[in-house]
Amino acid sequence: MTAVAVETRQARIVPALGRLATFVLVVAVLWGAWEGYKWLWETMGWTWPFVVDDTTMPHIHDILNAFREPITAGGPALIHPLLAAAWFTAKEALAGFALGAIFGFALAVVLVHSRLLERGLLPYVVASQTVPILAIAPMVVIGLGSKGVEGWKAVSVLAAYLTFFPVAINSLRGLKSADPRAFELMDSYAASSWSVLWRLRVPASLPYLFTALKISATAAVIGAIIGETPASIQEGLGGAIVNFNQYYSLQPTALWATNIVCAVLGLVLFGLVALTERLVLRRAPEHVA
């Protein structure tokens, strides 16, 4: 192995080890902060902002142990139904994420080519996000259900609803971000609007687009989980949250374990988008020697 290859390998390994060490450190700090808060409040007997005990704040190790404990006597360990529920919710979130991303980007393309439409529609796009998702979810699920749309498809629409806004707004800004001199050059070549869009606007918008997609990935998970409740879907994480919430006073660790799975699912989708961003932007012209 040549010296250059060794240096290249070290240049890749050292940052990866640094990120791993940072992750472990952050987890340790959060774990310590949780346990320290619990110990201090229980020792001092403080009750503000809430009473701290094994029900309101279980020990972290108790929550982790809950994953390998069966829900009912003789049943499977909790981790198995939670993984199945996570996969079900992930499919809903991914469908809504894809739908919302396509719609949001298409809307941005339309608005960037029409100043009149941008001024007329953009306020309504912004206003659409001021309505709480909890108020919209039952209307969407029941409304689409009356048209024969399956429950999981209606949930995907809710995930798309939370996805399209950041994609549309960031993409619109990105499509406008190219150097004005580049537009002048394209005009000098009599380039069509289609050529300007795909050769200039879209490449310039990619950093903005991926930023929006990373935000939307976690939002899509939230939309899917919330939408499962009015849709009466028991197979997903939303159904698991409702189920374990009923027995929280007796078995709080099950609900906390479900919350961890929800967070991990959001992080996984975020990581997939971040990985895709790294692969796509690495091949951008400015990164190619």
> Is 50 exceeded by the pLDDT of residue 289?
no
Q: H-type helices in the chain, by residue range?
A: 3-44, 60-66, 79-112, 115-128, 133-146, 151-175, 180-188, 193-196, 202-228, 237-246, 252-282
134 falls in which pLDDT band (50, 70, 90)? confident
Q: What is the DSSP string of 233-261?
A: --SSHHHHHHHHHHTTTT-HHHHHHHHHH
> Is 50 exceeded by the pLDDT of residue 288?
no
Better pLDDT: 239 or 145: 239
Token couple for 195: 């050529």
Predicted local distance difference test score (pLDDT) of residue 6? 54
CA quadruple 223, 224, 227, 229: dihedral, nearest 10: -130
> Is 70 exceeded by the pLDDT of residue 285?
no
Cα separation, 109 vs 175, in Å, equals 8
Question: CA 185, 188, 193, 194 torsion: positive or negative?
Answer: negative
Predicted local distance difference test score (pLDDT) of residue 4? 55
| Per-residue pLDDT tens digits for 233-283 | 899 999 999 999 998 988 899 999 999 999 999 999 999 999 999 999 876
For the chain, give the percent of residues with pLDDT over 90: 67
67 falls in which pLDDT band (50, 70, 90)? very high
Mean pLDDT across the chain: 90
Q: What is the mean pLDDT of residues 136-144?
A: 84
| Partners of residue 134 on adjacent β-strands | none
> Is 70 exceeded by the pLDDT of residue 186?
yes
